[in-house]
Chain A
Amino acid sequence: MIKILHVEDDADIREIAQLSLELSGEFELVQCESGEKALEAVNSFTPDVLLLDMMMPGMTGRQTLELMRQIPALSETPAIFMTARAQHAEIEELRFAGAAHVISKPFDPVSLGSEIMEVLG
């Protein structure tokens, strides 16, 4: 089972992602509604991949990743950003910030799992 930490402030989108990923049976999912809560969650959960929403109240996805990178266990964990601002310049910026992949919103829930698998190789 691949362990995913999904950080997303929109409850509906969290639910869709959960349905989509759990149905495949290949993922174990922990979801948080903010970067702050995600940083607490990683004390007891070490994900294989980070799935981070970019625009969130409080800490952004990028800020959340910066702080997670300071945790030795997460310094190399692949990070996938989900963003509604998926223009070329923003994608480049996120890649520069350490994103392994960027999924633009609205995303296809049917192919979400396979996109994540592709990143993990």
Chain B
Amino acid sequence: MRKGRSLTSAGTSFAIGSIFSGVTYATLAQLLGGTGIVPVAGAIAVAGLAPLLLSARIFPARPSSVQFETAQRLVALDQHAMVNIVDKNNILTEVNQQFLDLTGYAREDVIGKPVAVLYDDNSKSLALDIRGHLARGETWQGETPLRHADGSMFYTQATIMPLYDEQGNWSGSISARTDVTHTNELVAQRDTAQTLHELRDDIWIVDARSEQLVYMNKAAKSRFGWRPEDIAGKFAKDIGEAAEGSMILEACRNLIEKGESFSSFEMTYLGLPFQISVKYLADRNRSGRFLVLLCDISEQVEQERRKSEFISTVSHELRSPLTAIKGSMGLLLSNAVGELPSKAHELLEIAHRNADRLVLIINDILDLEKISSGNMDFDSQAVDICALVRESNAANALIQNRFSLDVQTTGIGTPIILHTDPDRIIQVLNNFLSNACKFSKPSGRIEIAVADTDDHVRVSVKDEGAGIPIEDQQKVFARFADMANSDRSKKGGTGLGLSICKAIIDGLGGTIGFDTQEGIGTTFYFVLPKNAEETRAAPSGDGLAQVS
């Protein structure tokens, strides 16, 4: 952590000390018999010892002993720290051997060069901050990242102090730095270890070859009621046997068998739902280690359950009033209680149609909830897909007639039997067809085609609508698809229909997609294998389109 600290409180004697340091530095260097490399660290020490040196001038009775002692201190400091002096223009004028060793530069590479060579672009503002302190006569202390000659970065704890000439004018600065890169790494390692240890989630580290437990954090140990020393000599299988955790150990072994480095899964462990993540950490010199992270997801599971229950309850509660509303309107429209005036009939039809829409929305929300929780169920049986197409087509006749649409079917002459869920297929077909009706121009043409291949059946619904703009195509199967650029957003619906269709077809082991051309029309299709068992719909996020 960088900190700027003003040392000006030391007062005038300190400033004088700084001036004095420059002079004394050379004298002391001679005293120590230094030749090529001058122990410039001494300058900092001299500056720090200014009051002492001043007293030496004031009391010249013991000059030699003071100078000698100071000189020894300079050597010690010079051994300890990297030191450099820069002039007022930030040009390096002197560096010590430690400086050269740590930076990797040769003396001739840096003397006469701006000190900025030591800073990378990210540290330029730090350099300006330091210069500001120096210009105000303040000493700066803090951590500075420096650039090594090979481009790598290292970190120093620095004291940088202004220097003054004999007239008391600011003449540059002197820096003494200690390399703290390794210390930082150790601190980071210690912090990481501490964080892991304190983490709420359980962590195990297991030697990959011996399967011996190498480490367990506090949470993991306390789950087994173990003391810190209790993991010594314990093996992963001890946990497996003790707490039915053999599945975790198996997941570790599988990583090596399959040549993978990571796997994650959910399981009930010790009676609680856990998200288990297993990572293989390869080590060139050893057999490697498994890092096992066990995250207790009881809270999320409970929240999901509550959300699911809430959605389900609200949706079902909405059905009761809707039953009364739709039922009343249905009876009125059927003239069961007498003939209505034509205008009243017309208005009632609108209300009835919109009550139907509400039912669809509720159904969509319930389906969505089932998809999210992975509970969408299928009732698969042998069915004739052509019969389902005819049934769906008949169910949409009303809307087709309303818009005077010409609906053509092809490929439905001969029964095509496959094992699938007929209700869910009807749901998908109804969605395709009602979309095609909504987006067709009045008196437009819709083509429903069934194509039979050896292994698969492809069912498509083609309209002559406006097509889907390219920027909206990736959103088509997303939940609550907001397709602001197309007229699809003006056609009503929940924006859930196609995402539900995708979940259904995925769940039945098929694929779904569309072809579209702006201004020409769109074809939605699904392909189902003839003999595939359905796969359970997995919880999904916004299902992205599998666009053809």
Residues in chain A within 8 A of chain B (CB atoms): 10, 12-13, 16-17, 19-20, 23, 55, 84-85, 87-89, 92, 105-110
Contact = CB atoms under 8 A, between A and B. Distances in A.
Contact of A106 (B319, B366, B377): B319
Given A87-B366, A88-B378, A106 B326 contact: yes
B331 interface: yes
Given A85-B316, A110-B331, A13 B323 contact: yes
A54 to B, nearest CB: 10
Contacts of B316: 55, 84-85
Given A88-B377, A88-B378, A109 B320 contact: no
Nearest to A12: B324
B359 interface: yes
Contacts of B366: 87
Contacts of A16: 323-324, 327-328, 331
B336 A23 contact: yes
B359 A106 contact: yes
Contacts of A85: 312, 316
B334 interface: yes
A19 B3 CA distance: 85
Interface residues of B, number: 26
21 contacts: A10-B320, A10-B324, A13-B320, A16-B323, A16-B324, A16-B331, A19-B331, A20-B327, A20-B336, A23-B336, A55-B316, A84-B316, A88-B379, A88-B423, A92-B379, A105-B319, A106-B325, A106-B327, A106-B355, A107-B327, A110-B336
A92 B423 CA distance: 14
A49 B87 CA distance: 106
Interface string B374-400: 000111000000000000000000000
A23 B331 CA distance: 10
A115 to B, nearest CB: 13
Q: Which 10 residue pairs of A and B lie closest in terms of their CB atoms, listed nearest first?
A: A16-B327, A84-B319, A12-B324, A106-B323, A84-B316, A106-B326, A105-B323, A109-B327, A110-B334, A105-B319
A17 B324 CA distance: 9
B322 interface: yes
Interface string B408-439: 00000000000000010000000000000000
Contacts of B337: 19, 23
Given A19-B336, A105-B320, 14 more contacts: A10-B320, A13-B320, A13-B324, A16-B323, A16-B324, A16-B331, A20-B327, A84-B317, A84-B323, A85-B316, A92-B379, A106-B323, A106-B326, A109-B336
Contact of B322 (A17, A55, A87, A106): A106
A12 B319 CA distance: 13
B60 interface: no
B330 interface: yes
Contacts of B312: 85
A17 B337 CA distance: 13
Contacts of A10: 320, 323-324
